[in-house]
Amino acid sequence: MLITRRAFAIGALSLAGATLLRPALAQDASPAISIKKDPWCGCCTGWARHLEQAGFVVDIEEIEEMEAVKDNLGVPAELRSCHTATIDGYVIEGHVPAEAIVALLDQRPQVRGLAVAGMPIGSPGMEGPAGSEPDQYAVVAFDGSSDFVFMRFAGHQRV
């Protein structure tokens, strides 16, 4: 069976188009993150906006008993912050930058999740006044038995 030039050209263009379109389709399949937060916390909403701007699909549930949520998900007491999220089997505690969450999902380490303890000034959702110096902070990976620094940031910038 002979293939005509026209059939070959159409096939080649279709393959090239599918190859070029594939990354765009993959980007459209944005990861979904489920956030649980105290109803009165505004910085949690700021963090959610940061994630949306980074391409995440965000679902927010307001819960008054956040300590129970953290207990059920195994967040160590020393790493707790104001909001807790889950994404693709991982727990995200506090003001973790989107860049760190993307790295977690790409690398898939054997950990329970990532945490930024407390509420560092300049972290996503905790932006200070214009011109203020952001805190440096660690994004800690935790697994229930040991913790380690996954990344370090100053404000939104990785250091």
Report pLDDT for 129. 86
* Tokens (6 digits) for 24: 């765009």
DSSP the chain: -PPPHHHHHHHHHHHHHHHHHHHHHHHHSPPEEEEEE-TT-HHHHHHHHHHHHTT-EEEEEE-S-HHHHHHHHT--GGG--SEEEEETTEEEESS--HHHHHHHHHH--SSSEEE--S--TTSTT---STTPPPPEEEEEEE-SS-EEEEEEEETTEE-
Tell if the pTM clears 0.85, that is, is over it.
no
For residue 74, give every residue at least 6 positions away whose Cβ sits within 8 Å of its Cβ, in sequence order, or none.
Answer: 91, 112, 144
Condensed to tens digits (0 to 9), the pLDDT of residues 49-67 reads 999 999 999 999 999 999 9
Question: For residue 33, what pLDDT band results from cuts at 50, 70 and 90?
Answer: very high
Pairing of strands 32-37, 57-62: parallel
Q: Are 140 and 115 in contact (CB under 8 A)?
A: yes
**Beta carbons of 112 and 90 less than 8 angstroms apart:** yes
- Say if 79 falls within a structural domain: yes
Say what the pLDDT of residue 59 is.
98
Give domain status of residue 14, yes or no: no
Mean of the per-residue pLDDT values for the chain? 86
The arithmetic mean of pLDDT across residues 65-86, rounded, is: 97
Residue 10 lies inside a defined structural domain of this protein = no
**Domain count along the chain:** 1
Q: Report pLDDT for 144.
A: 83
Q: What is the pLDDT of residues 119-149, one digit of tens each?
A: 999 999 999 888 889 999 999 999 988 899 9
Residue 13 located in a structural domain: no
**Predicted pLDDT at 23:** 41
In a domain, residue 7? The reply is: no
Q: Is residue 12 part of a domain?
A: no
pLDDT at 16: 43
Q: Is residue 141 part of a domain?
A: yes
pLDDT band at 13 (very low <50, low <70, confident <90, very high): very low
Is 77 a residue whose pLDDT tops 50?
yes
Range of the domain at 143: 34-158
The reply to whether 60 falls in a domain is yes
Question: Are the C-beta atoms of residues 104 and 114 closer than 8 Å to each other?
Answer: yes
Tell me how far apart the terminal alpha carbons of the chain are, to the nearest angstrom.
61
